[in-house]
Every structure is written in C-alpha cells, then in structure tokens.
C-alpha cells in the first residue's frame, strides 16, 4: 500500500465538559456522570498491511512510550484480530501529538482509532463496542467519537444532541505535568456533591463541575494557576480541567477570542492546541 493510499484515522482529544464523581464501586472503579465531547484534532494513526502486528510511535510526545505488546493500540489490534478470526497483521504508525497522562483520552483514543482503522483494513464487521469496553472505561466513548453522556464507570453511554457545541472554538492547555489517573481518584474526598443535570449538554456542563479538580490541584498546584489563567481570558464560555488532568480546556464565543488566548498560551504555558469541538 503506497502512502497515497495509506489508511489513517484521527484519535481526537477527549474532553470531559463536566465530571461528577458519585461514589466508589465494589470493583475499585468510581461511579461517574460525565459529558464527553471531542476535539477536531488529536493523535493520528496510520496503517499498512503486513504479516505481523507492529507499532511505530513518532511525534512530539513519543519519547518514553512503549511500542511493545502492552501498548493499548496493539492490545486493541490483537483483540480485534482474535474476535474477527483474522490471521493477517498490520504495520501501525502512531503520530503522538497529544501529551501523555493528560486527561484528554490519550491511549484510549488511540485504541479506539486502532479498532476503527483495522476494521477497515481487514474488512470485518465484528461489533467493536464490546472490544472497546474490554480495553478501558474511556475507550467506548472514544470509539463513538461524538458528544455522549457517560455513566457507570463512564462506559454506559447515552448519545446527546451536541446542539450549539459543534464548531465551538476550543483551547487545550497543559501546564507541563503528567497526571496518572490513579493518584487523582485516590485523593478524591469521597463526597457525593450531586447529579449532573440532564438536557442540552452545554447548559448541563455550565451548571456542572469536575469533582477531580480539587484533588488534582492539591497534587499539582499548577493546574489551579492554569484554570485561573484560562478563566481570565476574554470571551471564555467555560474553563475547566478535563478528566483527571492536568490538561485544562476553555470554550470561547468567537474565533477571535480563541486566537488571542492561543497566542497568550503559547507564551505562558508549555503546550496548547487551538481547535474546535467536533
């Protein structure tokens, strides 16, 4: 397969517009209510036919990542191959454009992109959602790739009309800190602060919160500084931490407001991405 015909999939950045932690579950997961939305941009996964499964990782955040069988992309590929009864392999190439351990989907989005991409390459119609559920709590939402409400571990999904969210200017900013999910959830105080509202997703998000912000800020004070910085930008509609951090996001009313905030973020913070919500 030539590069001109190479199959590719975007693994878009995942945004938790709101994230309510309602309690701990017996399996050590947490009972969540969240609104998932997705950026137009993210990591990029490409594939060519090959006899064996392999993964090459490149891009600005490739350093230190393991491209071996433990990588979630290869775990997704192997799970699909077994479910579909496929003997062929695939040479996968991941352009890692998003920070790692950053609260914006990362490996989950890459795994979901691998499922979509390899289903195309291998011509299989095996249901992908059960495989996604076996790979991680965020993978089903990332497989959907559009605005959904998540409950349970975050993997019980209800589609919602994005309404005015589609095309909304979006700025992602990371303070240069990796935040593994486990310690942030472990630092949550266990208090149920109430349900996430139903209805139009932006209105629900504006009325909501991210219950992991406070424990994440205790572990990484730069997140609090970043949130204050974002909330001070002209034209901001909503600024919040995504997932367990450390990436924070801001939604803007106008493209001009986003452009000004992006210019300032490039000066003041280690990483940012200006895009729109899908």
pLDDT beyond 70 at 1: no
Active site residue 138: yes
| 242 close to 174: Cβ distance less than 8 angstroms | no
| Cα–Cα dist 91/21, whole Å | 39
The one catalytic residue in 14, 43, 155, 211 is 14
239 known member of a binding site: no
100 known member of a binding site: yes
pTM value is 0.95
Q: What's the pLDDT at 6?
A: 84
Chain centre distance of CA 151: 16
84 known member of a binding site: no
Active site residue 14: yes
Q: Which fold has domain 3-158?
A: Ribosomal Protein S5; domain 2 (3.30.230)
Q: What's the pLDDT at 265?
A: 98
Residue 136 CB partners (closer than 8 Å, separation 6+): 72, 107, 108, 111
Q: Which fold has domain 162-276?
A: Alpha-Beta Plaits (3.30.70)
105 known member of a binding site: yes
| Cα–Cα dist 21/212, whole Å | 8
The one catalytic residue in 138, 155, 211, 257 is 138
What residue ranges do the domains of the chain occupy?
Answer: 3-158, 162-276
Report the pLDDT averaged over residues 99-117: 96
pLDDT beyond 60 at 2: no
pLDDT beyond 70 at 4: no
Report the pLDDT averaged over residues 116-136: 97
59 known member of a binding site: no
pLDDT band at residue 3, thresholds of 50, 70 and 90?
Answer: low
Report the pLDDT averaged over residues 249-272: 98
| pLDDT per residue as tens digits for the range 190-204 | 999 999 999 999 999
Report the pLDDT averaged over residues 27-51: 96
pLDDT beyond 90 at 5: no
Report the pLDDT averaged over residues 34-40: 98
DSSP string across 127-176: -SHHHHHHH-TTHHHHHH-S-EEEEETTTEEEE---GGGTT-EEEEEE-S
């Amino acid at each position: 397969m030539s590069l001109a015909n190479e199959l590719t999939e975007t693994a878009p950045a995942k945004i938790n517009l709101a994230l309510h932690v309602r309690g701990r579950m017996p399996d050590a997961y947490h009972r969540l209510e969240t609104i998932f939305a997705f950026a137009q941009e993210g990591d990029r996964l490409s594939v060519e036919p090959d006899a064996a499964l392999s993964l090459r990782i490149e891009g600005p955040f490739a350093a230190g990542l393991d491209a071996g069988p433990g990588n979630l992309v290869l775990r997704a590929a192997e799970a699909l191959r077994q479910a579909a009864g496929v003997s062929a392999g695939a040479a996968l190439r991941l352009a890692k454009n998003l920070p790692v351990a950053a609260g914006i989907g990362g490996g989950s989005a890459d795994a979901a992109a691998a499922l979509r991409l390899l289903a195309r390459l291998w011509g299989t119609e095996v249901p992908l959602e059960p495989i996604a559920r076996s790979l991680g709590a965020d993978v089903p939402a990332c497989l959907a790739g559009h605005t959904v409400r998540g409950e349970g571990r975050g993997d019980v999904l209800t589609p919602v009309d994005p309404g005015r969210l589609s095309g909304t200017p979006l700025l992602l900013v990371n303070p240069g800190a990796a935040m593994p999910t486990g310690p942030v959830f472990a630092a949550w105080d266990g208090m149920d602060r109430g349900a996430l509202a139903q209805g139009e997703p932006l209105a629900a998000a504006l009325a909501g919160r991210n219950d992991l912000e406070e424990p994440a800020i205790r572990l990484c004070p730069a997140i609090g500084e970043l949130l204050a910085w974002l909330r001070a930008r002209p034209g901001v509609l909503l600024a919040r931490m995504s997932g367990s951090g450390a990436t924070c996001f801001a939604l803007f009313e106008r493209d001009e407001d986003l452009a000004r905030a992006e210019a300032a973020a490039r000066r003041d913070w280690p990483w940012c991405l200006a895009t729109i919500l899908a």
